[in-house]
Amino acid sequence: MKNNKIFTIMLITVLMVSATGFSQQKITVKGSDTMVILAQKWAELYMKSNPSASIQVTGGGSGVGITALINGTTDICNSSRPMKQTEIEKLKARYNTLGVQIPCAKDGITIFLNEANKVQELTLKQLSDIYQAKVKNWKDVGGNDAPITVYGRENSSGTYVYFHDEVVKGDYAATVQTLPGTAAVVNAVKKDVNGIGYGGAAYAVGVKHAKVKNDTNGPAFLPTAESIGKGEYPITRYLYMYLRNRPTGENKKYIDWILSQEGQMVATEVGYFPYK
Amino acid sequence: MKKLLAITIFMMVSVYGYSQKQNPDSLKEVIEKHEGRLNALDERVLVNEADLGKLNKIKVSGYIQAQWESYGKDLEKSNGYNNTFYIRRARVKFTYEALDGVKFVLQPDFSTGNLVLKDAYAVVNIPKLKDFTLWTGQFNRPDYEVEYSSSQREVLERSRVIRTIYPGEREIGVKLEYVGSTIPLKVQLMAMNGNFTAAQAKDVDSKKDLMGRIVYSIKLPDAGIGIDFGANGYFGGNLAKTNPYISNSDGTADSVKVWSYLDKNWVGGEVQIFADVLGGMAIKAEYIAGINSTASTIAGTSTMAQMKASPNLFNNFSGYYLYFIKNIGPKDQFIARYDYYDPNTKLSGDAAGNNIYYTTWTVSLQHYLNDNIRISLNYEMPKNEINASNSTEKKDNVLGVRIQAKF
């Protein structure tokens, strides 16, 4: 009898909490710095055509966005890399879901060089050697006799992780100067004649793109719509949105719009590429 | 205002005049001097960055669980009180990631009157085999409920069977772990002393116990479902060091040779189902059965009567647990768990004596106040087997309220 009473109290509490739990809030989007310009543009245009919608976009890096998704402080997480198994395990432990991965655009990680740099193309191996400080002088990769200044992102960045896993495939050298955001990397390379950096294509203003090739004998490609669309550019990746649960209500309407032709055109205008 | 304007003009003229007076040599000298200072500063920044880099490799996390519990009458009789405040856990975890793929972990528990070392281990990624890690030291035994952190677990305590066969959760040994990056498979193999208690820092016999666990994951993203299922096993034993008597599962008293090895073997199956249904839901279950032995601790100099009265135990056992977990919005969870444990499956009723089985219902509510604070309301209702030795249902329910602060 006593047990039944406690069951009843708990059930009532559950129902009360359920009723408050489903009230719709404004949409918060957090994560990838690479995607922040794109996400802000999407939010701005969507809110213009849907005045009742309220979307707040912030950056911080893919890692920060995924942590916010796990902690429940954001509705949508933007990430320029897939979630790691350890992060999915945390989501499972806290929300009992595997998370929902939505590819929303394609990006080619662009290699930024100063406009005065005479190097035109680099292989994946050369990039790996440069970021591991195995190659320290531009003359070793066809440039002038000058030391290479290497710029990169902080470890909370999805681009940092993707570049590490797919290109560097080893430890970043301690000499890599970490900067907060792709814009800061571009700015540093713009001012530094011996600089090299990497980041999303949309930020590359005032610097030149290096062509990238898989190996010495293969063709080199610039990150263009065509080369990325065909999968020829060697450092092509998807950009993702992650949610804790399958989207419903306002979240679903917003994501459907992003994946529509109109939303994908925005991705192209900003400097990225349609997800399919 | 006029005064301020006059001072500004005076200063500008003075600076202009001063710079006009400088010859190129002295300017060069000034530049060189400042260049030297900047270089020195650069060096200092590099040294500081290197030091900071080392500090960045150390991560400190932890949690405190402050709890209030109220007990049923039978527990009140044995405890001497019917409710209490206490610190269930107060842990600080230090993780040092020396290099990519090399990690050291140290985790003491500071709960009141109970300072113990919980974890002390090193994890190394095996070179050229990126999916394999080697663990050495003291860490959790490979079992789902054991490895599921008490800071995340949805009810206050682990199920009775797991608490009994894996006391303290940890063991000292070495573990090889494979977590597939291309196939959703996890394999764990562990060799350990097999006699772990806080007081036994070294093995008490030369034989090592072995444990293995394999888990495969299936994802059905369109349906929002994930299923992990697997099997585990424990293969080891205890040494009957002093006492030549044994009590078997069927209740017969037998004799064994002193220094003979009593098997401790069991196997289990597990499944966890995660479903994205109106806010997330999970069903988790594990079944374990086998032989558990306990070496008698009675001294070799004791009388035969004393040794017969406290023999080595060698019993068939079985147990399982079943969780139902439902998320309600992003901050709340409802949990119901049913668990069963029979320490001697061959005997039941009066013949079982005090080796009776228990079934336990546990219901719990969790509320996440924010990222760091979780409040739990938990009610545990054990039900014991009734026989001649235990003629009534024990009043041993426990109501608990816990506040957990995690950082």
Tell me the chain B residues in contact with residue A244 when contact means C-beta distances shorter than 8 Å: 280, 330
CB proximity A244 to B under 8 Å: yes
Test the B interface: residue of A76, A97, A178 with most B CBs within 10 Å: A97
Q: Which residue among A17, A18, A97 places its CB closest to the CB of B224? A: A97
Our CA dihedral for A130, A134, A136, A138, rounded to 10 degrees, sits at -60
**CB pair distance less than 8 Å for B329 and A20:** yes
Do A25-106+239-270 and A110-229 agree at the fold level? yes
Query: Rounded to whole angstroms, how far apart are CA atoms B213 and A225?
Result: 47
* Span A164-177, average pLDDT: 90
**CB pair distance less than 8 Å for B331 and A21:** yes
Q: Which residue among B179, B281, B334 places its CB closest to the CB of A14? A: B334
**CB pair distance less than 8 Å for B276 and A71:** no
Decide if A274 contacts A105 (C-beta within 8 A): yes
Predicted confidence (pLDDT) per residue in B174-207, tens digit:
999 999 988 999 999 999 998 766 567 788 888 8
* Residue A10: predicted pLDDT: 60
**CB pair distance less than 8 Å for A72 and B371:** yes
Test the B interface: residue of A13, A30, A98 with most B CBs within 10 Å: A98
Tell me the pTM.
0.81
How close does chain A come to B276, measured CA to CA in Å? 5
* Residue B40: predicted pLDDT: 85
Q: Give the bridge partners for B327, in sequence order.
A: B333
**CATH number of this structure's domain A110-229, picked from the four choices 3.90.1140.10, 3.40.190.10, 3.40.50.40, 1.10.10.10:** 3.40.190.10
**CB pair distance less than 8 Å for B224 and A245:** yes
CB proximity A268 to B under 8 Å: no
Taking CA atoms, what residue in B is nearest to A11?
B334
**In the predicted structure, residue A209 carries a pLDDT above the cut 60:** yes
Give residue limits of the domains in chain B: 1-56, 59-406
Predicted confidence (pLDDT) per residue in A126-149, tens digit:
999 999 999 999 999 999 999 999
Interface of B with A (CB under 8 A): 50, 53, 99-100, 148-149, 152, 179, 181, 219, 221, 224, 226, 274-276, 279-282, 325-332, 334, 361, 363, 365, 367-368, 371, 377, 379, 381, 397, 399
Q: Which residue among A6, A21, A94 places its CB closest to the CB of B328? A: A21
Query: Rounded to whole angstroms, how far apart are CA atoms B338 and B328?
Result: 21
ipTM, two decimals: 0.79
CB proximity A249 to B under 8 Å: no
**In the predicted structure, residue A193 carries a pLDDT above the cut 50:** yes
How close does chain A come to B317, measured CA to CA in Å? 29
Q: Which residue among A3, A73, A96 places its CB closest to the CB of B381? A: A3
* Residue B401: predicted pLDDT: 98
Query: Rounded to whole angstroms, how far apart are CA atoms A81 and A162?
Result: 6
**In the predicted structure, residue A95 carries a pLDDT above the cut 80:** yes
**CB pair distance less than 8 Å for B379 and A10:** yes
* Residue B197: predicted pLDDT: 65
Going by C-alpha positions, the residue among B376, B386, B204 that lies closest to residue B295 is: B204
* Residue B149: predicted pLDDT: 94
**CB pair distance less than 8 Å for A92 and B226:** yes
3-state helix, strand, coil in chain B (%, to 5): 20, 50, 30
CB proximity A95 to B under 8 Å: yes
In this prediction, residue A20 has a pLDDT band, given cuts at 50, 70 and 90, of: very low
How close does chain A come to B330, measured CA to CA in Å? 6
Q: Which amino acid is at B119?
A: D
Tell me the chain A residues in contact with residue B179 when contact means C-beta distances shorter than 8 Å: 85
Structural fold of domain B59-406: Porin (2.40.160)
In this prediction, residue A1 has a pLDDT band, given cuts at 50, 70 and 90, of: very low
Test the A interface: residue of B45, B361, B363 with most A CBs within 10 Å: B363
Query: Rounded to whole angstroms, how far apart are CA atoms B96 and B116?
Result: 20
CB proximity A89 to B under 8 Å: no
Query: Rounded to whole angstroms, how far apart are CA atoms B19 and B26?
Result: 11
**CB pair distance less than 8 Å for B367 and A17:** yes
DSSP, residue by residue, A145-176: S-BPEEEEE-TT-HHHHHHIIIII-SPPPTTP
* Residue B303: predicted pLDDT: 82
How close does chain B come to A93, measured CA to CA in Å? 7
**CB pair distance less than 8 Å for A93 and B226:** no
**In the predicted structure, residue A245 carries a pLDDT above the cut 90:** yes
Range in A230-244, A262-276, B239-253, B354-368 the model is least confident about: B239-253
Distances (CA, A) of A225 to A166, A232, A268, B352: 20, 10, 8, 75
**CB pair distance less than 8 Å for B279 and A21:** yes
CB proximity A15 to B under 8 Å: no
Taking CA atoms, what residue in B is nearest to A68?
B371
The SS3 call for residue A5 is helix
Test the A interface: residue of B276, B283, B366 with most A CBs within 10 Å: B276
Query: Rounded to whole angstroms, how far apart are CA atoms B126 and B112?
Result: 39
* Span A140-163, average pLDDT: 92
Helices (H) and strands (E) in chain A, counts: 10, 12
* Residue A155: predicted pLDDT: 84
* Span A234-245, average pLDDT: 94
Predicted confidence (pLDDT) per residue in A22-77, tens digit:
444 589 999 998 899 999 999 999 999 999 999 999 999 999 999 999 988 999 99
**CB pair distance less than 8 Å for A98 and B274:** yes
CB proximity A86 to B under 8 Å: no
Taking CA atoms, what residue in A is nearest to B145?
A93
Regarding predicted confidence, which is higher, B11 or A182?
Answer: A182
* Residue B10: predicted pLDDT: 56
Q: Which residue among B100, B280, B331 places its CB closest to the CB of A97? A: B280
* Span A182-186, average pLDDT: 91
**CATH number of this structure's domain A25-106+239-270, picked from the four choices 3.40.50.40, 3.40.50.970, 3.40.190.10, 3.40.50.1100:** 3.40.190.10
Is the alpha carbon torsion for A197, A199, A201, A203 positive or negative?
Answer: negative
Taking CA atoms, what residue in A is nearest to B152?
A93
Going by C-alpha positions, the residue among A67, A78, A83, A80 that lies closest to residue A39 is: A78
Q: For A22, which DSSP code?
A: T
Going by C-alpha positions, the residue among A157, A169, A170, A202 that lies closest to residue A67 is: A157
* Residue B28: predicted pLDDT: 85
In this prediction, residue A182 has a pLDDT band, given cuts at 50, 70 and 90, of: confident
As averages over each run of 10 residues, the pLDDT of chain B (407 residues) reads: 56 54 76 85 78 84 97 92 95 90 94 89 89 95 96 96 94 95 94 77 86 96 94 92 79 78 94 93 98 82 79 90 95 97 91 91 96 95 94 94 97
For the sheet containing A55-60, what is the strand order?
A55-60, A27-31, A76-79, A236-243, A100-108
Predicted confidence (pLDDT) per residue in B255-275, tens digit:
788 888 888 999 999 999 999
**CB pair distance less than 8 Å for A72 and B331:** yes
In the numeric block, which tokens belong to residue B35? 């260049």
Inter-axis angle of helices A261-270 and A36-49, nearest 10: 140
Q: Residues of A numbered 138-177 whose beta carbons fall under 8 angstroms of chain B's beta carbons: which are they? A: 171, 174
